[in-house]
Amino acid sequence: MTDDHSTLSSPTSGTSSPLPLANQVGGHPGVQTTPDGSLLIKTSLPLELQFYQTTVSDPAFARLRRYIPKFYGTLKLEGRVEGGEDGLTLGVDGAGGGQVVVGGIDKTGVGEDKDSLVLENLSYAFLKPNILDIKLGTKLYDQFDAPPEKKAKMEKTAKHTTSGETGVRLTGFQVYDNTTGEPIVTPKSYGKSIKPSDLPEGFRRFFPLAATTSHDPTRHHPSLHINIPSTSSHPPNTGLPLATLLPILISLRADVAEIREVLEEIELRMVGGSLLIIYEGDWERAERGVEWMETHVGDEEDEDEDEEGEEGDDEGEGGDDVDMEEEVKGKGERGVNFEDADDEVTEDSPLGSGSGSDSGEEGDDDGSGKKPGPPYTVKLIDFAHTRLCPGMGRDEGLLKGLDTVLRLLDGRI
């Protein structure tokens, strides 16, 4: 681990404690954020730290890197810097491998007996983050070190939930109500109680189509229709308009297909890991995000080609729904480079508070303090039991789960 550091400014000042992660829909409790909400502080096991360090340094993981949270290093806590503004000091190149010094943060509540990872907060770029945590894999125990009791318990869990048959379990999700502006949370108990045949209903709950008054946009897309009873737990006023939701689904589907393609070539075992999906629940920002997405079509392929060349040298709704679908399908298949959005969407953002930076930044025209950027993000998370396993082949249970996600997305498109 290097002692060299570079600096990333932070808006926090004074002595502050890390805050509990807001909007956490899955995973173990105890994840915290920096006071401004832009970064996560998460205690980790050695395997998770090792995985992050490997993926940020090994060129073989270049394609996978864009589908995991940005890793800034491990946490080192220091006292308040007298006479100056508190800041974050990052490892070399600002990502991975070094220590992150968080000035002015009280270490109360942060684990001292384990490494604490500093990661990007994936929901920070969103005004109303709709968040879904999907537990991946058919095997829920670490085959290398799980005791017999743990193995038996997890085998039973897989058998009696959707994990064993489909490779996925809906750990939990939240969707913002368009009337109250508050998130509606579906707890872990829902995902543990449903059958494989109920998974499409779960995806309809997470990707609902907004109710409209002028016409019924589901007439061309019956798969998008959902009849949710008017109850306190599932009110009807959720979701995005069709013209906004459909391009998000199509582009998201293309990204999940690429994640599957990448993981098919990597020999690893991922136990307890998740696919995290976040999309914007605010209508105006989601619409602007789709417009942003359409202008960045194909950037990813160009960037990948540039990187390969360098490595070689070095070693709203509206319009006709049917026409819109055909147009956006072609764009989704070509891919969108969301890496370029990092500098455009405040800090490095999108699982937590959803609060943004100071308003009035250049390019901000909705008063949110956030610049235009992608309307969704999809990442692999939770690598506490992820191991690279050369010679053992691909993780079939993991791939099965991703295949299930692809089919569920197809059912919404």
Per the model's pLDDT, the better-predicted residue between 317 and 393 turns out to be 393
Which residue carries 């500093």 as its tokens?
118
What is the reported pLDDT for 27?
54
Q: How does pLDDT run across 243-291, given as a tens digit for each residue?
A: 999 999 999 999 999 999 999 999 999 999 999 999 999 999 999 999 9
Strand partners, 321: none
pLDDT for residue 37 is more than 70: yes
- For 52, the enclosing helix (H) or strand (E) is helix 46-57
Given this model, what pLDDT does residue 364 score?
52
The predicted pLDDT at position 49 comes to 93
Calculate the average pLDDT of the chain.
74
Paired with 39 in beta bridges are: 120
Supply the angle between the helices 396-410 and 242-263 in degrees, to the nearest 10: 160
pLDDT recorded at residue 35: 82
Residue 50 host element (H or E): helix 46-57
CA distance linking residue 18 with residue 40, whole number of Å? 9
Give residue-wise pLDDT tens across range 345-367. Answer: 333 333 333 433 333 344 455 55
Q: Nearest-CA neighbor of 216 among 202, 205, 203, 227?
A: 227
Please give the share of the chain, as a percent, with pLDDT higher than 90. Answer: 50
Is a pLDDT exceeding 60 seen at residue 153? yes
List the chain domain ranges: 6-120, 129-410
How much is the pLDDT for 255? 97
Where does residue 126 rank: exposed (0-12), middle (13-18), buried (19+ CB within 10 A)?
buried
Q: Which CATH architecture has domain 129-410?
A: 2-Layer Sandwich (3.30)
- Note the pLDDT tens digit of each residue in 108-144: 444 455 678 899 999 999 999 999 999 999 999 898 9
Tens-digit pLDDT profile for residues 302-316: 555 554 444 444 443
pLDDT for res 131: 97
Query: In this structure, are residues 321 and 358 in contact, taking their beta carbons and an 8 Å threshold?
Result: no
Annotate 26-54 with b (16+ C-beta within 10 A) or e (fewer): bbeeebbbbbbbbbbbbbbeebbbebbbe
pLDDT in tens, 170-194: 999 999 999 999 999 999 999 999 9
Instruction: Please give the average per-residue pLDDT across 163-174, as a whole number.
Output: 96
Tell whether the model's pLDDT for residue 196 goes beyond 90: yes
Q: What is the pLDDT of residues 321-344, one digit of tens each?
A: 333 344 334 434 444 444 444 433
Q: How confident is the model over 50-88, as pLDDT tens digits?
A: 999 999 888 889 999 999 999 998 886 554 333 333 344
pLDDT given at position 354: 40
